[in-house]
Amino acid sequence: MGVRSLVRGSVAWDRLEAVARAVLDRTDREVGHVRFIEADNWLSTPFVVDGEFFVKVISRRNSVVHAVLTTGRNLGAVTAGTEGFFEHVASPYEMARRELEATRRMRAAGVDAPEPLDVFEVDGLGVLVSEYLDGFEPLDAVGPDRAERLAPGLFAELARVHDAGLAHGDLRAENVLVVDDDLYFIDATSLQEPSETTHADALTATRQYDLACALAALEPLVGAGVAVDAALVSYPATDLLGAREYLGFVDVRPDHDFDGPALRGEIDHRADGEAG
C-alpha cells in the first residue's frame, strides 16, 4: 500500500454506498453506475457517477491530514518571511464547501475548472459533486513534449487567478487536468482572508507560493530552464525571485519531487540577465 493510500485511509463500503445513493437521489436518478478512481491524493476518496458527476468523499481522517498539512504550509510561510496564509477547516463538510466556493470564484474569474454542482454531508462525510471531464489527463501524464507546449498556458491561467485577487494554494501537476490541450484547475484550497493591514503582503505571498508550486510541478516534466522560461511569459523576474524563497519549503512537502537547485539557478540566471 502506498504512503498516500495509508494516510488517506479507506471509507467503509456501506458509507460510500450511502453517498452514492444520496448523489443519485439529489440528481433525480433511481439507479446509476459508480466507478471508483485510483487518484494520487491525500484528502478524499473519488468516484464517478454515470460518467457525468465527479464525487469527492472527504472523511474525518482526511480532515485531520488536512490540518497537519496546513500547519506545515503555514510554518513554511513563516520561514519564508510572511505570516501563515492557509486556513484549516474544522470538518469534512467544511472542506468540501470551501473547495466548492473557491472553484466558483476561479470560474467567475474566467479560469477553466470543472463546474462545482453540489455539496452536502452524509454520515459525517463531506461530499463535493462536480462536473466530470471525460477523457482528461493529469498534467504529469501527458509526456514531456506536450507538457512543454502546455507550460506557458499553465502560467497564463495562474496569472488570471492572481489578477482576480485569488490564489490556488495547492498547485501540483495532478491538480491540473488536460482536455484537448485545455487546462483545468482542480482542488483549489482554502486561504485565510488577510487583514486590511496585511492584505497586499498576503496577496504577494500567496502569488509567490503558487508560482513556486507551479515551477516545482513542471520541472520534473520539462526541466528547469523550460519551466522558468514559460513562467516569464506571464510573470516578471521579480515575481520569480519571490517564488524562489518558497522553493525550499515546497521541496520538503511529500507531494512534490523536483530539482530545487536547478530551479534556483535558472531563476537567478534569468534575473541577472534582466539586471544586466
CATH at residue 66 = 3.30.200.20
Q: What is the pLDDT of residue 238?
A: 93
Q: What is the pLDDT of residue 17?
A: 93
Q: Quick one: 29 and 113 in the same domain?
A: yes
Q: Quick one: 121 and 152 in the same domain?
A: no
* pLDDT of 65 higher than 70: no
Q: Quick one: 211 and 151 in the same domain?
A: yes
With vertex at residue 104, the alpha carbon angle to CA 139 and CA 210, rounded to the nearest 5 degrees, is: 45
**Residue 78 resides in a domain:** no
**Residue 82 resides in a domain:** no
**Residue 57 resides in a domain:** yes
* pLDDT of 5 higher than 80: no
What integer best gives the mean pLDDT of the chain? 84
What is the rounded average pLDDT of the residues 172-187?
A: 93
Q: Quick one: 125 and 170 in the same domain?
A: no
Q: How confident is the model at residue 7 (pLDDT cuts 50, 70, 90)?
A: very low
Distance CA 125, CA 58 (A): 6
Q: Quick one: 198 and 251 in the same domain?
A: yes
Q: Quick one: 37 and 14 in the same domain?
A: yes
Q: What is the pLDDT of residue 2?
A: 45
Q: Quick one: 114 and 172 in the same domain?
A: no
Q: Quick one: 142 and 271 in the same domain?
A: yes
**Residue 114 resides in a domain:** yes
Q: Check residue 143 and give left, alpha or beta (phi > 0: left; psi -120 to 50: alpha).
A: left
* pLDDT of 4 higher than 60: no
Task: For residue 185, list its beta bridge partners.
Answer: 176
* pLDDT of 85 higher than 60: no
* pLDDT of 95 higher than 90: no
Q: How confident is the model at residue 192 (pLDDT cuts 50, 70, 90)?
A: very low
Q: Quick one: 192 and 149 in the same domain?
A: yes
* pLDDT of 220 higher than 50: yes
Grid coordinates representing 57 are: 468523499
Q: What is the pLDDT of residue 168?
A: 86
Q: What is the pLDDT of residue 75?
A: 60
Grid coordinates representing 86 are: 492557509
Q: Quick one: 58 and 121 in the same domain?
A: yes
What is the rounded average pLDDT of the residues 27-56?
A: 87
* pLDDT of 71 higher than 80: no
**Residue 263 resides in a domain:** yes
- Lowest mean pLDDT across 185-194, 216-225, 239-248: 185-194
**Total number of domains in the chain:** 2
Q: What is the pLDDT of residue 237?
A: 94
Residue 180, domain extent: 137-275
* pLDDT of 92 higher than 60: yes
